Structure formats: structure tokens, C-alpha cells
Chain A
Amino acid sequence: MNVASLSSLVFAGSVAAGFLGSLTGLGGGVVIVPLLTLAFGVDLHYAIGASLVSVIATSSGAAASYVRDGYSNVRIGLFLEIATTSGALLGASLVSRVPTSTIAIIFGAVLLYSAISSPPRDAVAKGGTPNTLAQWLRLNGSYPTAGGPTKYAVRRIPLGFATMVGAGTLSGLLGIGSGAMKVLAMDRAMGIPFKVSTTTSNFMIGVTAAASAGIYLARGYIDPGLAMPVMLGVLGGALLGARVLARARVRVLRNAFRGALLVLAAEMIYNGLVGKV
């Protein structure tokens, strides 16, 4: 396939991935790697390189619309970025040491998790006992709700921090944002309200990805000709998705997207097992 047709097909696929990812809240970056490797036969290294650049683009591009609402917590984000960026360096340096087929299987497992994990409910803030570490770090905050600003307390910080190192490692190893795992750490482990954890996680995704992007560039994983249609496509699709989000009925779409993720997960794992990647 020549540059013109490959670029247009990859661009179209990336727009669809970014659009569906932002509309369903499941993230578009996670389908870019299977799309490139399975549909276009692209080498895994180039695929994760292009994907990682698009992850930085969507995270930073969406940030402005999120902060306007006052949900994200800068202190929680920065503190946990120590964990995610360190993990990202580890993950990115592992890419050249772990066999490609193993990376494909891990990727399939993460896809599987994204497909079946239920998004956390829009719960009210959980109280929790006062935590001295949270107080020392001043992580506790408040966020706007229908009944005025609601306070929340952060707990189990070491567990959340450790999970974030894991999320960062996966991000660096697979070229994804690993937003699902970041939200898991903040929502389930640390008891941070859903709206605060999703918006804060979105902030952190770009910084985490930037940590491994330097290593990707140095090792030559980022091919400009491939990264260009992926980055522009995912960014355009995500911005479009954010615009129609308010009007769309997303449940049917989300289930369809989950189904697609399941199929891609199975195919990635199969290809990894038979060594076809």
C-alpha cells in the first residue's frame, strides 16, 4: 500500500477511534495499537510509538474543557505523577527487553480489562477516616455538586501510589494512556469521587506519556509518516466526540465499543500466543 492510501485509511481509523473513545469514555488510544498491528500489519514498535503521541495530544487537548468545571485536583495529580512517570520510564525501557509476543499478550489482557470493567458510578463523596498522610500532603478537597461544594477525603495513599506505578509501567510498555487503571487507583483504592478521579487522571495521562515519549524517540519507535495521521486523526476524533457528548445516547454505543474491544483483545492474545506479531 502506498503512502497516500495508507495515510488516509490510518487517518480514518484514528478519527473513528478518537471519536468513539471520547464518546464512550473508554479512551481511544487503546484501539490504535490493535488497529495498526492487526489491520495494517504494522510492527508493534511503530504502533506503540504512534499511539503514545496521540495519547499526549488527546490528554492535553481535552484538559481545558475539564478544568473549567473545577473537578480536577492539581495536588493529587502532581503527587501521583511521581509514581506514574517513574513507572513510565520503567515500562518504556522494558519494551526492548520483553519479547514482542509477550507485549501483545499483556496488551490483550489490558484491552480485555477495559472492555469488561464497569465505569465507576457517579457516587457521592466517600467520607473515610481522617488520614494523616493525606492531611500532610493536603490532598483532601471539594468539588461542585448540585447541592453545593462537597468535601472528600483521600485514603489508602500507599496502595494508590503503588497502583499508579503499575499504571505508568503499562503506559510506557504499551504506548497507551492506561486511564482505566489510573481511575481504578483513585476511585477504588483512594476513595476519590468519580468526577474528580476521571478529570485528574486525564491531566496525568499526558504527563505520564511524556515521560516515556523521550525514550521512544531515542529508540526510534516514532515514525513521522505513521505518527502524523494517527495523531491528527485521534485528536480530531476526540475533539469531535467531546462536542457531541452532551447530546448523544451513549449506552448502545458503549456496548458496541466494548464488543469491539473484546474481539481485538482476543485477536491480540491469539497473535501473541502463536507468535504472529
Chain B
Amino acid sequence: MRDIDMDRMMGRLLQVGVLVAAAVVLLGGTGYLFRHYGEVPDYRHFHPVPLALDGLLEFRARSVIQLGVLLMIATPVLRVAFCIFAFAIERDWQYTVISAIVLCVLMYGIFGSH
């Protein structure tokens, strides 16, 4: 696989990921506006927002938006994972390792801080 083909596949992957994530956020956002449009949110004072994906089962609008946000975050992470795979196929071990290091840092940020 030439570098430029790899670039193109990655570009396509990112575009699809963004579109799917944006569609999920739009879906959740529509539900959110529909159910909460008259409420007055307090964004002036900071209260940590918990990640509540269990609300997906009852189609809670805020949980659906959170799922979309997670998909958005996952898109560039997938791109890096794809690089590991693509460089390994090329037997380019140096860049397989470099991509793996980047993925480890990303994983630490996502899972290590909880």
C-alpha cells in the first residue's frame, strides 16, 4: 500500500466517523430540544456532568448526545489504530511502534483517568 492510498483511506474513515457521530448528536439533540426546550439551564456554575450511557436504554436524550460525543472522540483514535495495522502490513516496524505509542497515550487519556 502506498502512503497516498493509506492517506485516502484514512481521510474516508475520518469523514464517515464524523458523519455518523454528528448524526447521533443531531438525533439526541432533537430529542433534547423537544423535551427540555422550556427549561433554564445553569451553565454559570460548574457541576461535573457524569457520563450516563445507561440512559441509552430508555432513550434519554442527553445520553444519546454523549454517545455521539464518544463516537466523535473515537474517530481519530480509530485512525491511529488503522495506522498500526497499515504499517504492520507494510512491515514498517518503526512506524508500527510509533503509531502504537500514540495509541497507548490516547488510551491512557480515555481510560487511565477514570
Residues in A neighbouring B44, C-beta threshold 8 A? 41-43
Q: Nearest chain A CB to B66's CB is how many angstroms away?
A: 5
In residues 1-36 of chain A, which contact B (Cβ within 8 Å)? 1-4, 6-7, 36
Residues in B neighbouring A42, C-beta threshold 8 A? 43-44
In residues 214-245 of chain A, which contact B (Cβ within 8 Å)? 214-215, 217-229, 231-232, 235
Given the interface pairs A2-B38, A41-B44, A60-B76, the reply to whether A213 lies near B14 with Cβ below 8 Å is no
Contact residue among A41, A220, A227 (Cβ-Cβ distance under 8 Å from B47)? A220
Residues in A neighbouring B65, C-beta threshold 8 A? 224-225, 227-228
Contact indicator A207/B76 (Cβ below 8 Å): yes
Binds B, one of A82-90, A117-125, A126-134, A152-160: A82-90
In residues 65-83 of chain B, which contact A (Cβ within 8 Å)? 65-66, 69-70, 72-77, 79-80, 83
Contact indicator A210/B76 (Cβ below 8 Å): yes
Residues in A neighbouring B61, C-beta threshold 8 A? 224
Q: Nearest chain A CB to B98's CB is how many angstroms away?
A: 5
Q: Whose C-beta in chain B lies nearest to the C-beta of A49?
A: B49
B75-103: CB near A (< 8 Å → 1, else 0) gives: 11101100100000000001100110110
Q: Nearest chain A CB to B51's CB is how many angstroms away?
A: 6
Contact residue among B18, B37, B38, B62 (Cβ-Cβ distance under 8 Å from A224)? B62
Contact indicator A4/B28 (Cβ below 8 Å): no
Contact indicator B46/A43 (Cβ below 8 Å): yes
B59 CB within 8 Å of chain A = no
Total interface residues on A, CB under 8 Å, equals 67
Given the interface pairs A70-B4, A228-B28, the reply to whether A85 lies near B109 with Cβ below 8 Å is yes
Contact indicator A67/B102 (Cβ below 8 Å): no
Q: Whose C-beta in chain A lies nearest to the C-beta of B92?
A: A138
Binds B, one of A71-79, A107-115, A261-269: A71-79
Contact indicator B102/A82 (Cβ below 8 Å): yes
Residues in A neighbouring B75, C-beta threshold 8 A? 56, 60, 206, 210
Contact indicator A78/B99 (Cβ below 8 Å): yes
Contact indicator A59/B43 (Cβ below 8 Å): no
Q: Nearest chain A CB to B14's CB is how many angstroms away?
A: 4
Residues in B neighbouring A72, C-beta threshold 8 A? 7
Contact residue among B22, B72, B73, B101 (Cβ-Cβ distance under 8 Å from A214)? B73
List 14 other contacts, CB 8 Å, given A219-B113, A224-B32. Answer: A57-B22, A60-B75, A60-B79, A67-B11, A81-B80, A89-B109, A211-B109, A213-B73, A224-B63, A225-B65, A227-B69, A228-B28, A228-B29, A232-B29
Task: Pick the 9 closest A-B CB pairs, nearest first.
Answer: A220-B48, A214-B110, A224-B65, A64-B11, A67-B11, A4-B37, A206-B76, A228-B29, A64-B15
A-B contact pairs, 22 of them (CB 8 A): A40-B43, A42-B44, A46-B46, A53-B72, A57-B21, A57-B72, A64-B11, A67-B4, A70-B7, A74-B3, A75-B95, A207-B76, A207-B77, A207-B79, A207-B80, A207-B102, A207-B106, A217-B69, A218-B114, A221-B48, A223-B49, A227-B69
